[in-house]
Chains A and B, each alone.
Chain A
């Protein structure tokens, strides 16, 4: 990527060009004008990013390119040209010979996009057989293995014989990419390729895409709501909002001097590590597209909007003609000169009090096997939580971070007594929660609440918002009916929801509103501790920011303690005072948020940090990539559990001795055999090449 792009591009031919595309959908009460005057170009050997909130029409554009709109949708106007061919007038037969062969579409959500009853090999082979001349069965098999090797899947022959459900999420994503690459496509469309993946898996996937780009010279259209991902690997970026292209240009230019208020708002809403910025939500919501207002579609949410913005037709204007930087904004000069304010991070004035929850040597094993299983052979239980000790203090927000499968959700649920404890103890207010009487357990339940990742699944679909909020008040408090009613409205007010939602049912609310209701419900009984299990990871970026800010405000207002579980360190940094890093059921580093984000680092923490994409396209980062997946929790490695993937492994001592958490000063504990210097020094020299 970077500087030579523009010069190189002049002698490149255009692979795909979408010109003034209009797409409409017919729905029950009229037409939805989903894409309006959208133009986009992808050249050979270039990665083009397409970003925007959900509902902005990114996937629709991708599907329009491969001529796969839903039956009620059609291209109303404009053209799509691919390698000189007009895709809109292509016959079914022509389209079949293009799809999978010259244009590969790699869908989001790999687990549902792979056929569950065909092996990975068969699914790749199918594409090859369709589009390529294969001379023999052996050649086909070899091609399948080659492409699996190209996407860095270990043991291609073994993977080819497996079914999708036998692979991890990251492996499934690679397998889906392998299908796309199997016929050396000229254009690769990646639709949200890393959504749902861990940061570490995401980082490896992005590396892979970059390597492939160098190898294939294909054009890549990368669709994502994650601007960090675009900054990391794209050459040019297009910002789409509510069906209109608002800004486009080289990544360096658009990210360093965004010339559209929407781009600035998107950047401000994205949390970043160690940038000392508060996330800033975008006010309002993406509009419904059944009636398109005059003027700028973003005007209602824009701080620069003036009267003309709502009346005039606004065309794309060139910001920097030489570098093809364009913005659809009347006030782009003003926007570039006076970008929107991003508030600096405020130091939290919370002072943690006494410990309210103490966990001592907690173990939680799953599937310990029945009598017979243990009798027949060596049956290993899944060691989801393995000897964990830590405290949560009054009024403090503790973050728990780690890759999927490291046991963080199990830990969160076990300490609320939603799972039984295998061994060890959990003390709440000095009392072991295992010895609580029925009455005391009820009190414990009322003072310790949980908020789940998927708000829709955690709210009863048959209850109204009022009933949902009054339920805990009825169970845990002795308020009278009218007091409950007032309190429910007060709670809605506190989570910034209007009283108009009070009689609605969860399915009538948006994802962000649902999560606000879930938060209000958790706060209803004045809890002293709330476990937040990935509270924002299913939400859109702009909504994510407002939920994070809300959680932070409520924490201060109520003095409630949080245990925030997330795989995303930037989310943790936005709220938490203290962080615990978990790997394979064990805590390997704890400390205050500042301590965790500064050296010395545990090698695992360092890898997590370096995997997070940044918004600065110029930033050169040390790249530490972990090999493989998290090992099987039935049979964790001996010694330090991280030794099989550790880039800084010393030697035998790591395989034999399990390091204890050692306090390096100020409560910053690391469980590693390395010296403090080794954990602090920069690794760029050693790892930049790797």
Chain B
């Protein structure tokens, strides 16, 4: 059963990737303005344009181009940038890695801050602690990330509180502290909404779990309150949170474009914005596809984790 579910889930993931690849190909092919014009400028001669089209393979019939494109995605080869002539993957990959570091730090903040806060709020329901945490999460939910980014930038990077750099990126190899120093602000800015959302989700599902009949069974077995919470409550109460976290990963990738602009962070979001400005088709394609595929894989992983946590799901293929 478990095996069948795995096969099914893999097939769904592959199908989604295939659809996304096709849509991205279709949309970018239909974009106005020819690639040759972008490379050569508007003053180019017809002969030169034909030459470039031939070099780029754009004179071939669409189905052939499509097959070639899919082949490129499979092998990770998106061609060369129309502007710089650099292989696209060489441009996308390091930037994606930086963005992923940013996302990972942001995610980590959610997990280590939001989940425990949510659990505490649920366990101490209707007390002062709960009210504080809950109303704080309302505030977090209502601040858009570009606002929080701007506020953080204004107050924490200028005197008198000149605590953080205004932007940029330092690789991990230069030391954890400077690395984190640069990542922290954009990660927090990107994260306020998600943090609040994950917190509320954790709190409400934990509250529901702690009211369930099997928690009463556990208490009436004589299980101590700490174990009631950690042994019986957490595993059931955190299931929905896993899915929420995975779904939010996608949301995060969306907000990355704005955050990276504001903090001048050399990540994939900034690259995509540049590429769109320049109509650098291969970079746009890769810039969209690579994170999307990463997102699909993250959801896939979340579902698998879910199966391991909840025994009922392994039978859920009927």
Contact = CB atoms under 8 A, between A and B. Distances in A.
- A, B: real partners: yes
A166 B312 CA distance: 8
A254 to B, nearest CB: 29
Interface string A39-78: 0000000000000000000000000001010000000000
A624 interface: no
A197 to B, nearest CB: 16
A97 B222 contact: yes
A112 B212 CA distance: 7
A95 B223 CA distance: 10
Interface in A152-173: 163, 165-166
Interface in B127-183: none
A213 interface: no
Interface residues of A, number: 30
Contacts of A126: 218, 221, 223, 231
B217 A130 contact: no
Nearest to B309: A117
Given A112-B213, A127-B221, 14 more contacts: A68-B216, A96-B223, A99-B219, A100-B223, A101-B222, A107-B216, A107-B220, A114-B214, A116-B312, A117-B235, A126-B221, A130-B223, A165-B315, A179-B217
A163 B221 contact: no
A107 B219 CA distance: 12
A126 B310 CA distance: 19
B232 interface: yes
Contact of A163 (B223, B231, B309, B312): B312
Contacts of A96: 222-224
A66 B236 CA distance: 25
A494 interface: no
A471 interface: no
Contacts of B318: 367
Contact of A107 (B213, B231, B236, B315): B213
A66 B311 CA distance: 31
Given A96-B224, A98-B222, A99-B222, A117 B217 contact: no
A520 B216 CA distance: 39
Contacts of B212: 112
Contacts of A116: 214, 236, 310-312
B160 to A, nearest CB: 47
B208 to A, nearest CB: 12
A131 B309 CA distance: 28
B220 A131 contact: no
A115 interface: yes
A113 interface: yes
28 contacts: A66-B220, A68-B216, A68-B220, A96-B223, A97-B222, A99-B219, A99-B221, A100-B222, A104-B220, A105-B220, A112-B214, A113-B214, A113-B216, A113-B217, A114-B217, A115-B214, A115-B232, A116-B236, A116-B311, A116-B312, A117-B309, A118-B232, A127-B221, A163-B311, A163-B312, A166-B315, A176-B217, A179-B217
B303 to A, nearest CB: 16
A658 B14 CA distance: 49
B226 to A, nearest CB: 11
Contacts of B216: 68, 107, 113
A100 B166 CA distance: 60
A413 B218 CA distance: 39
Contacts of A101: 222
Contacts of A109: 213
Contacts of A130: 221-223
Contacts of B213: 107, 109, 112-113
B74 to A, nearest CB: 25
A160 to B, nearest CB: 14
A183 B214 CA distance: 19
A159 to B, nearest CB: 14
Lowest 7 CB-CB distances: which A-B pairs, in order?
A100-B221, A100-B222, A99-B222, A112-B213, A113-B213, A115-B214, A163-B311
Contacts of A100: 220-223
Interface string A83-125: 0000000000001111111001101010011111110000000
A99 B224 CA distance: 11
B10 to A, nearest CB: 15
Given A68-B216, A112-B214, A163-B312, A117 B222 contact: no
A385 B222 CA distance: 46
A117 B311 contact: yes
A95 B220 CA distance: 9
A104 B220 CA distance: 7
A127 B222 contact: yes
A621 to B, nearest CB: 33
A66 B220 CA distance: 8
B40 to A, nearest CB: 52
B127 to A, nearest CB: 11
B212 to A, nearest CB: 6
Interface string B230-241: 011001100000
Contacts of A97: 222
Interface string A672-684: 0000000000000
Nearest to A93: B224
A105 B218 CA distance: 10
Given A107-B213, A163-B311, A367-B318, A115 B218 contact: yes
Nearest to A376: B4
A105 B214 CA distance: 12
A165 B312 contact: yes
B220 A99 contact: yes
A183 to B, nearest CB: 9
Contacts of B221: 99-100, 126-127, 130, 179
Contacts of A114: 214, 217
A259 B230 CA distance: 51
A557 B231 CA distance: 58
A113 B221 CA distance: 12
Interface string A165-191: 110000000001001000000000000
A99 B232 CA distance: 17
Interface string A129-144: 0110000000000000
A226 B179 CA distance: 69
Contacts of B309: 117
B310 A131 contact: no
B15 to A, nearest CB: 15
Interface in A566-622: none
A115 B236 CA distance: 8
Interface in A635-683: none
Contacts of B311: 116-117, 163, 165
A488 B307 CA distance: 50
Interface in B14-33: none
Contacts of B236: 115-117
A131 B315 CA distance: 34
Interface string B275-317: 0000000000000000000000000000000000111100100
Contacts of B214: 112-116
Nearest to A97: B222
B223 to A, nearest CB: 7
Contacts of B231: 126
